[in-house]
Amino acid sequence: MGKALSYLSGQWGKLLIFLDHPELQLDTNLVENDIRPFVIGRKNWLFSGCPQGATASAGFYSLIQNAKISGVDPYAYLRDLFKSWEKNPRNLSCEDLPQNGRTVVR
């Protein structure tokens, strides 16, 4: 019980911030639900063939989740991204990410 109270006293300032800002959520359910596919996929990355395959899988999950969060259809986003690479081969850059609000095809 002493450890719990000690922990609470160390977090008290953060709790007060939450109380002063009612727009903040007390839980992280939204984020946890958003990363669930990533966590489930992580188990499959053990069998991706090589570390580079696991990195590629994680990258695709990240792009798909960014599209979902930005309100963009992930399939359409990836389709347009790959089409743009056919026309202009390049590395992925920040301006290619879905949250920038622009269309991917250039």
Residue 103 scores a pLDDT above 60: no
**Phi, psi dihedral angles at 23 (to 5 degrees):** -75, -15
Residue recorded with tokens 């069998």: 47
Structural Rg of the chain based on CA atoms: 20
What does the pLDDT average to over 67-87?
89
- Residue 89 pLDDT exceeds 80: yes
The count of other CB atoms within 10 Å of the CB of residue 75 is 10
Where does the pLDDT of residue 106 fall: very low under 50, low under 70, confident under 90, or very high at 90 and above? very low
3-state secondary structure of 5: helix
Question: Do the Cβ atoms of 78 and 101 come closer than 8 Å?
Answer: no
Q: Please write the tens of the pLDDT for every residue from 24-50.
A: 777 888 878 877 877 777 776 666 677
For 2, the 3-state DSSP assignment is helix
Q: Does the pLDDT at position 104 exceed 70?
A: no
Give the whole-angstrom CA distance, residue 94 versus residue 99.
9
Residue 75 pLDDT exceeds 70: yes
Using the Cα atoms of residue 75, residue 83, residue 91 and residue 45 in order, give the sign of their dihedral: positive
Q: Report yes or no on whether pTM surpasses 0.85.
A: no
> Is the pLDDT confidence value at 105 over 60?
no
